[in-house]
Chains A and B, each alone.
Chain A
Amino acid sequence: METLWFMIVAAMVAAYVVLDGFDLGAGAIYLGVARTSDDRRRILRAIGPVWDGNEVWLVAAGGTLYFAFPLLYASSFSGFYLPLMMVLWLLMLRGIGIELRAHVENPVWAGFFDLIFCVSSILLAIFFGAALGNVVRGVPLGPDGYFFEPLWTNFRASGTTGILDWYTVLTGVIALVTLVAHGSLYIAVKTEGELNRRTRAVALWAWPLQLVLTIVGLLASGYVQPIALDNYKHHAIGFLIPVIVFGSLGVMIYAIRKGEDKMAFVGSALYIVGMLVGAAFALYPLVLPASTNPAYSLSISNTAAGRHGLTVGFTWWIIALVLALGYFTFLFRMFRGKVRLEGEGY
Chain B
Amino acid sequence: MDSALLLHRIHFAFTITFHYLFPQLTMGLAPLIVILKTIALRRNDETYHQAARFWAKIFGINFLFGVMTGIPMEFQFGTNWSHFSRFAGGIIGQTLAMEGMFAFFLESAFLGLFLYGEKRLSPRGHWWAAVAVFLGSWMSGYFIIATDAWMQHPVGYVKAADGSLQLSSFWELVLNPWAGWQYAHNMSGAVITGAIVMASVGAFYLLWGKFEAHGKIFVRVGVVAGLIFSVLQLFPTGDGQGRMIALNQPVTLAAMEALFVGQSGAPLIIIGQPNVDERKIDNPVEIPQALSFLTYRAWKANVQGLDSFSPDLWPQSIALLYYSYHIMVGLGTIFIAIMVVAVFLLWRQKLFTARWMLWILLLALPFPYIANTAGWITAELGRQPWLVYGLMRTADGYSKMVSAGNAMFTLLGFLGMYTVLGILFLFLVRREIEHGPAAEVSAQH
Contact = CB atoms under 8 A, between A and B. Distances in A.
A320 B89 contact: no
Contact of B402 (A70, A148, A305, A335): A148
A78 interface: yes
B74 interface: yes
Interface in A62-80: 62-64, 66-68, 70-71, 73-79
Contacts of A77: 75, 77-79, 82, 85
A309 B109 contact: no
Interface in A23-69: 48-50, 52-53, 55-56, 58-64, 66-68
Shortest 9 CB-CB contacts between residues of A and residues of B: A70-B89, A77-B78, A306-B166, A67-B93, A60-B100, A345-B116, A320-B101, A327-B109, A309-B167
A344 B101 contact: no
Contacts of A345: 115-116
Given A68-B93, A95-B67, A103-B428, A74 B83 contact: yes
A323 interface: yes
A68 B64 CA distance: 28
Interface stretch (A86-94, A166-174, A187-195, A227-235): A86-94
A324 B110 CA distance: 11
B113 A70 contact: no
A75 B82 contact: yes
A23 to B, nearest CB: 13
B399 A59 contact: no
Interface stretch (B117-125, B206-214, B292-300, B357-365): B117-125
A79 B89 CA distance: 17
B413 interface: yes
Given A59-B100, A327-B110, A82 B85 contact: no
Contacts of A305: 89-90, 93, 166-167
B105 A60 contact: yes
B424 A96 contact: yes
Interface string A302-339: 00011011001100110011011001101100110000
B93 A104 contact: no
A331 to B, nearest CB: 5
Contacts of A64: 97, 100-101
B313 interface: no
6 contacts: A49-B112, A74-B83, A96-B421, A147-B401, A305-B93, A306-B167
B93 A146 contact: no
B171 to A, nearest CB: 9
Contacts, number: 224
A320 to B, nearest CB: 4
Contacts of B80: 78, 81
Contacts of B118: 344
Determine which residue in B109, B160, B167 has the highest number of CB atoms from chain A within 10 A of its CB, and name it.
B109
A210 to B, nearest CB: 29
B164 A70 contact: yes
A330 B98 contact: no
Interface of A: 48-50, 52-53, 55-56, 58-64, 66-68, 70-71, 73-79, 81-82, 84-85, 88-89, 91-92, 95-96, 99-100, 103-104, 145-148, 305-306, 308-309, 312-313, 316-317, 320-321, 323-324, 327-328, 330-331, 334-335, 343-346
A133 B406 CA distance: 23
Determine which residue in A48, A89, A305, A335 has the highest number of CB atoms from chain B within 10 A of its CB, and name it.
A305
B271 to A, nearest CB: 41
Given A64-B97, A70-B86, A308-B167, A53 B105 contact: yes
Contact of B101 (A81, A89, A321): A321
Contact of A63 (B100, B116, B170, B417): B100
Interface in B316-367: none
Contact of A59 (B71, B82, B116, B160): B71
A53 B409 CA distance: 30
B251 interface: no
Contacts of A82: 406, 409-410
Contacts of A66: 74, 77-78, 85, 89, 93, 96-97
B116 A71 contact: no
A62 B166 contact: no
Contacts of A323: 102, 105-106
Given A100-B424, A327-B106, A63 B101 contact: yes
A118 B94 CA distance: 35
Contact of A81 (B64, B88, B170, B406): B406
B282 to A, nearest CB: 43
A67 B96 contact: yes
Interface string B60-83: 010010011101101101111011
A85 B101 contact: no
A60 B104 CA distance: 8
Nearest to B410: A85
B109 A312 contact: no
B75 A88 contact: yes
B168 interface: yes
B402 A78 contact: yes
A331 B113 CA distance: 7
Contacts of B97: 60, 63-64, 66-68, 313, 317
Nearest to B63: A52
A96 B111 CA distance: 17
Determine which residue in B101, B406, B409, B424 has the highest number of CB atoms from chain A within 10 A of its CB, and name it.
B101
Given A77-B82, A344-B116, A92 B421 contact: yes
B99 interface: yes
Contacts of A91: 68, 71
Given A99-B64, A327-B106, 19 more contacts: A48-B112, A52-B108, A60-B104, A64-B100, A73-B89, A74-B89, A77-B82, A77-B85, A78-B78, A81-B402, A85-B79, A99-B61, A148-B401, A305-B89, A308-B168, A313-B94, A320-B102, A328-B109, A331-B112
A58 B101 CA distance: 11
B400 interface: yes
Contacts of A67: 89-90, 93-94, 96-97
Nearest to A328: B109
Contacts of B399: 74, 78, 81
A79 B399 CA distance: 9
B91 interface: yes
A335 B166 contact: no
B252 to A, nearest CB: 27
